[in-house]
Structure formats: C-alpha cells, structure tokens
C-alpha cells in the first residue's frame, strides 16, 4: 500500500510544471528575464498574493527588450532546464486554458505585481463531442503539442516602458471542488519600445479570479456544453487562439497525434 501511495504521489508531482524560458521574435532568451519559481508546485489559493507571479518569486536583474507588435514565445516544462520535446510540457492530463497578461510598471526588476493587469492572450477550450471534457480541445493540449511553447503578440498600441508579462496555465483536472484548480504562472520582465499610447482596462491579482468562478470550479470529467475562461476578455490588441487550432511555428512538435 505504501509503495502504491508513493507511486501515485510521484505521478502527481511529475505532472507539475514551470514557465521558464522566453523567445523574442524567434530568438531564444532562455531564463535571462524570468522570475523563476523555486519549484513546480501549483498555486491553488486565488485570493493570495502568490497568484501574481508564483510563490517565493522576486525580481531579477535581467529585462528582455521587445518592441510593441513583436511576438514573444513563452515556454513551459515540467522540470527546470528540461527542454526535451519528448516530454510533455505539463503532464498528468492537467488540461485547462493557457493565458497571458501584462502590467505596466515603473521598474520590472522591482515591481511587486500589485498594479493592474490586462489579458493579451488566451487559448481556452473547444468541444470535440467525445463525451467527457477531458477529451475536448484545450490550450494545454496545444501547449504540449508545441513542445511547451506558445507564441504571444505584444499589443502594438501599448505605451513604451517596463512591463511584467504573466504566463499562466489553469489546470482543471481536480477543479470539481473549490480550491481544486491548479494555477501555474511565471512573470517575465520586459522593456517595451514603441510609440503607443493605449491604456487598457485592467484587473488586479488577487481579485481577478474567485474560487467559485465557472472557469475555476468545473468538473472536466463530465461533458461540457460551454466553458468560461477565467479573467477578463482579451485586450483588443491581443490575440485569442481557438483551442485545437494552434500552429507551431519553427518549433519541434511532439508526436502526440494532435489535436487530441
């Protein structure tokens, strides 16, 4: 019995993951501008400050330079430093949406994430008509098919300056009860150039999500007729990807028979 419990725990932890690398217009910046979480353990309390940039994270010296309108690629893997496309980016059937937010700050290396955030990317859910929603299309399945990478456009009209970019997976495999959703997020430190003047409407973390939200508390092991992605709508200058339709550009693609 003890060995069975340990095996189950090991499998559960193996499904956890960390956002850990960034590409700018196809150039690999590695982990030079990320606030790397100390472990791949998820955040489950949406009402705590850890929901901003993950538990125990703090500013780093590096900032990645991007221009408004550029494409950045956020990259997730289960273990630090593992970029092997043979391994799922986030395993254990941790299905759910992939979301990206930004917040304008005075200094990305010291900002605490308490400023307002706007959503710039969303890859959520689409029905596949195969019974339980586990069998539907999800942003996480697209992420796994693309070797843990998601292309995200930086809105072309935002003002220049420092920003935090927050990449997130909301894993729903245990989300049938309040507090069951597992949130995996990391913050990247950016300096954005350009001449934009837009000031998007924002939400705060914590505050943007509630444990009772239909996109946070949901049983994906039953059939879904609809799914409401957590948080605000994507900003007009951002991008929404239809789950199951993501295209992997210039990336190694896992042989998962995707779409699943």
Does residue 34 have a cis bond before it (omega within 30 degrees)?
no
Q: What is the pLDDT of residues 238-249, one digit of tens each?
A: 999 999 987 787
**CA-based diameter of the chain, in Å?**
63
Q: How confident is the model at residue 14 (pLDDT cuts 50, 70, 90)?
A: low
Mean pLDDT score of the chain: 91
Measured CA to CA, the distance from residue 94 to residue 201 in angstroms comes to 30
pTM as predicted? 0.92
Q: What is the pLDDT of residues 86-143, one digit of tens each?
A: 999 999 999 999 999 999 999 999 999 999 999 999 999 999 988 999 999 999 999 9
Measured CA to CA, the distance from residue 101 to residue 113 in angstroms comes to 11
Pull the structure tokens for residue 57.
């994270």
- Residue 98 has what pLDDT? 98
Q: What is the pLDDT of residues 38-70, one digit of tens each?
A: 999 999 999 999 999 999 999 999 999 999 999
Q: Which CATH class is domain 22-241?
A: mainly beta
Domain boundaries, the chain: 22-241
SS3 194: coil
Count H helices, E strands: the chain? 3, 13
Q: Which helix (H) or strand (E) holds 166?
A: strand 161-171
Measured CA to CA, the distance from residue 192 to residue 212 in angstroms comes to 35
Q: How far apart are the first and last CA of the chain?
A: 33
- pLDDT, average across residues 176-198: 97
Pull the structure tokens for residue 99.
């979301």
Q: What percent of the chain has pLDDT over 90?
A: 87
Number of residues in the chain: 260
Q: Could you tell me which of 121, 86, 138 has the C-alpha nearest to residue 239?
A: 121
């Amino acid at each position: 019995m003890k060995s069975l419990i340990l095996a189950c725990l090991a499998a559960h932890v193996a499904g956890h993951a960390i956002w850990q690398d960034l590409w700018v217009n196809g150039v690999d910046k590695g982990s030079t501008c990320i606030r790397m979480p100390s472990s791949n353990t998820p955040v489950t309390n949406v009402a705590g400050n850890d929901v901003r940039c993950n538990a125990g994270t703090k500013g780093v010296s590096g900032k990645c330079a991007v221009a408004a309108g550029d494409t950045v690629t956020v990259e997730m893997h289960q273990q630090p430093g593992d970029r092997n496309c043979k391994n799922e980016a986030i395993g254990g059937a941790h299905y759910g949406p992939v979301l990206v937010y930004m917040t304008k700050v005075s200094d990305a290396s010291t900002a605490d994430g308490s400023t307002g955030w706007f959503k710039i990317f969303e890859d959520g859910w689409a029905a596949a008509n195969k019974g339980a929603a586990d069998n539907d299309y999800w942003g996480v399945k697209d992420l796994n098919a693309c070797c843990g990478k998601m292309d995200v456009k930086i809105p072309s009209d935002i003002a220049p300056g420092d920003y935090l970019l927050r990449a997130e997976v909301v894993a729903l495999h245990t989300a049938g009860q309040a507090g069951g959703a597992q949130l995996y997020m990391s913050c990247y430190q950016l300096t954005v150039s350009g001449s934009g003047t837009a000031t998007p409407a924002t939400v705060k973390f914590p505050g943007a999500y509630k444990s009772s939200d239909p996109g946070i508390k949901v049983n994906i092991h039953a059939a879904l007729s609809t799914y409401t992605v957590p948080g605000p709508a994507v900003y007009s200058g951002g991008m929404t990807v239809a789950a199951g339709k993501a295209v992997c550009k210039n990336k190694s693609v896992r042989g998962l028979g995707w779409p699943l």
